[in-house]
A and B are shown apart, each in its own frame.
Chain A
Amino acid sequence: MSLSSKHLLGLRNTPREDIELIIDTAKTFREVLERPIKKVPTLTGKTVVNLFFENSTRTRISFELAQKRLSADTINFSTSTSSTKKGETFKDTIKNIEAMKIDMIVVRHQSAGVPDFLTRISNANIINAGDGRHEHPTQALLDFFSIEEKLGKLSGKNVCIVGDVSHSRVALSNIFGLQTLGANVSVCGPATMIPRNIEKLGVKIYQKVEDAIRRNDVLNVLRIQLEREAGGGIPNVNEYHKYFGITSERLEKYNPEIVILHPGPINRGVEITSEVADGPYQLILEQVTNGVAIRMAILYLLGTHPN
């Protein structure tokens, strides 16, 4: 069994069989992670570059750990050590890295479309670790893995993404992937945080968070970016919390069965209270462990891809 593409750029065009294969493979690796010796020799001799043009410690560590568990050689390249600051073009940077005979690139960049661009200038397998506000497929896949572990197959489930959907890279990957798996996807947040025409992607919009809680099996709660406050979508985080925050009172009142996901890092007391973040509804730490397993699965499936 192999994936239909040699890259993982996003979930927009990723077929159901591929998503299922990744999740099934992740289940196997999840077992490896429970063993006393957590390392397998699967990718011995393969070189993976973690190309992070934007700081994201969590995602990078998760990928790095996944690579080490698979015995791949890992190089970390982040903006602080990059030559792009010295005026070298992005393309030159990639050409230079590629000349070192690498096999895979894991890329995180603040601009949407950079992973697509990379496939045009590099022969390596490209894994998107987040591009602008576009996609973050590995995060979405670990979300799906975590939900299915808890609730069974996603088909027919109702999942709502709550928060700043406009500036989120997690939201789109979730939307595309969940729809492929047959789930019903909705979003909830102030209209300033909901991108235009999202309903044309088959996504329902909830204006009120109470309705979103009542009508869904899962809430995927997005981080409210404190630094973007000034730019506009909300007047302040207190008001956001008051009208959209996920609190135990709301959950208990409207849907005590609901499952809560959060891609992290959490702004406690803003989009979610500590009580919820640490309470029985959440799968947040589960997501972190599953993240390593999902990334191992993707690295394995692409690293052994027949191209």
Chain B
Amino acid sequence: MKYLLKNLQIIDPTLHINQISDIIIENGIIKKIAENINPSDDVKTIEFEKTICTLGFFDMHVHLREPGYEQAETIKTGSDAAAEGGFTAIACMPNTNPTIDTSEVVESILKKSENHIVNVFPIGAVTKGRKGESLSPIYEMHESGAVGFSDDGVAVKTANMVKLALEYSKLIGTPLIEHCEDESLFGGSINEGTISTELGLPPIPSVAEELTIARDILLAQYTQGKLHIAHISTKNSVDLVRNAKAKGLNVTAEVTPHHFSLTENSLRSYDTNYKMNPPLRTEEDVEAIIEGLIDGTIDVIASDHAPHAQEDKEVEFVQAPNGIIGLETEVGLALSELYNKKKLSIEQIIEKLAINPRQILNIEIPQIKIGNKAEFTFLIPDKIWAVNLSQSKSKSKNSPFDKKLLTGKAIGIFNNSKLYLNGEYV
């Protein structure tokens, strides 16, 4: 199959490219990049308008729920949602059932994701069953295709186990991805503060996150290991990571779209679609996070896509599970809240959604040059659209963003020789 994509604004910050061009792709490989290429009969020609073509976006924090919780999401439906949201690749978290803690589970996920337009990269559990007691077979899982290790859902239980994991993973260079939360301070439903006091909901203190980040950064310094902080959410957390980077430590961090676009004030309705972990925080925290995105303290935007079946989320607030789906609103929120509000340039957006996640996980960046595999995300940064959950590709619909107007959209992707554009394969 041969494609001619016309009139694209090609942006590849790694090659310092930002130009209007046409592209010819043959069998999934970039064959030609030039202006005004003439269509021919054997080529499928697509004419674009006001569209950016950039490095395929990569979401490094996705819960696909398979194996074990297929009523909420499957590898197929989660990958479909990723394609719809503008991602050519995702990394999936190991809190499945069984846990991704053997190479067999890694391989079965890779097998099931074959032939999809979206590539799936499994994250293995750091410890067996994510119990924090003994290391899982990290080298074997890596050899089978796991790109990072995490006990996400919880922090690695003990400082000793964090130390072992940071040391053990040095050989293969994979990051320890930490969900930072001190167990003894946890047990609540929303951020501890004025809103939790007003709503009488059991609180989660921000220091529960910060304490674990501080612990892990000290251990990363001590071991010289590679640490990635997942879904950072407080001002102090941003400061801790900023200081760690200033010291030259191998520490990176990610933030979810909801933590830069919502605050705890949304919780006044007791709507369980605003219940997440880490919880939504204060305005001051959101400002610090945006500051961290601007100055590079926060490297990555990742969804923490967490599907839950409707009957699980439509319950009493305290009983409701944490998390929201995010793959299909992530790019829109990033463009609306960060790019269109002039906080980040388009290059910075691309760094945080395509370049940095791959660098952290040691995955080759699909640079836009002749001879390379074509792996693109197509963006219209000023397109105004409304989120419509009923059209979501995800099997679950737990999101607080239904009907929200966003400015900026990923309209499609090209990957694995397939073109997905405006909701369909072309």
- A304 at interface, CB cutoff 8 A: no
CB of A19 to closest CB in B, whole Å? 18
CB of B246 to closest CB in A, whole Å? 31
* Alpha-carbon separation in the docked complex, A177 to B317 (Å): 24
From B197-205, B363-371, B395-403, give the one contacting chain A: B197-205
- Using a Cβ–Cβ cut-off of 8 Å, how many residues does chain B contribute to the interface with A? 21
- B319 at interface, CB cutoff 8 A: yes
Contact present for B197 and A131 (CB under 8 Å)? no
CB of A169 to closest CB in B, whole Å? 7
Contact present for B202 and A133 (CB under 8 Å)? yes
CB of A103 to closest CB in B, whole Å? 23
CB of B329 to closest CB in A, whole Å? 23
* Alpha-carbon separation in the docked complex, A132 to B202 (Å): 9
Which residues of A lie under 8 Å from residue B205 when comparing CB positions? 196
Which residues of A lie under 8 Å from residue B319 when comparing CB positions? 90, 111
Contact present for B198 and A172 (CB under 8 Å)? yes
Which residues of B lie under 8 Å from residue A110 when comparing CB positions? 318
Q: Which residue of B lies closest to A173 (CB)?
A: B200
Which residues of A lie under 8 Å from residue B192 when comparing CB positions? 196
Count of inter-chain pairs, beta carbons less than 8 A:
71
Which of B194, B197, B198, B315 has the largest number of chain A CB atoms within 10 A? Answer: B197
Interface residue ranges of B310-325 to A (CB < 8 Å): 311, 314-319
Q: Of A114, A195, A196, which one neighbours B316 at CB under 8 angstroms?
A: A114
Q: A112-B317, A117-B316 are in contact. Are A198 and B197 (CB under 8 A)?
A: yes
* Alpha-carbon separation in the docked complex, A169 to B201 (Å): 11
Contact present for B200 and A89 (CB under 8 Å)? no
- B193 at interface, CB cutoff 8 A: yes
- A57 at interface, CB cutoff 8 A: no
Interface residue ranges of A73-115 to B (CB < 8 Å): 89-91, 109-114
Q: Of B197, B201, B314, B316, which one neighbours A201 at CB under 8 angstroms?
A: B197
* Alpha-carbon separation in the docked complex, A297 to B412 (Å): 60
Q: Can you sample 24 A-B contacts with CB below 8 Å? A: A12-B198, A89-B315, A90-B315, A111-B318, A111-B319, A112-B199, A112-B201, A113-B201, A113-B270, A113-B317, A113-B318, A114-B317, A116-B269, A117-B270, A117-B317, A132-B200, A133-B201, A134-B200, A134-B201, A196-B197, A196-B203, A197-B193, A198-B197, A201-B194
Since A132-B318, A169-B200, A196-B197 are in contact, a sample of 10 more A-B pairs with Cβ atoms closer than 8 Å, ordered by chain A residue number, is A111-B319, A112-B201, A112-B270, A113-B270, A117-B317, A133-B201, A133-B202, A196-B203, A200-B194, A201-B194
B interface list, Cβ under 8 A from A: 192-194, 196-203, 205, 269-270, 311, 314-319
A interface list, Cβ under 8 A from B: 12, 89-91, 109-114, 116-117, 131-135, 169, 172, 195-198, 200-201
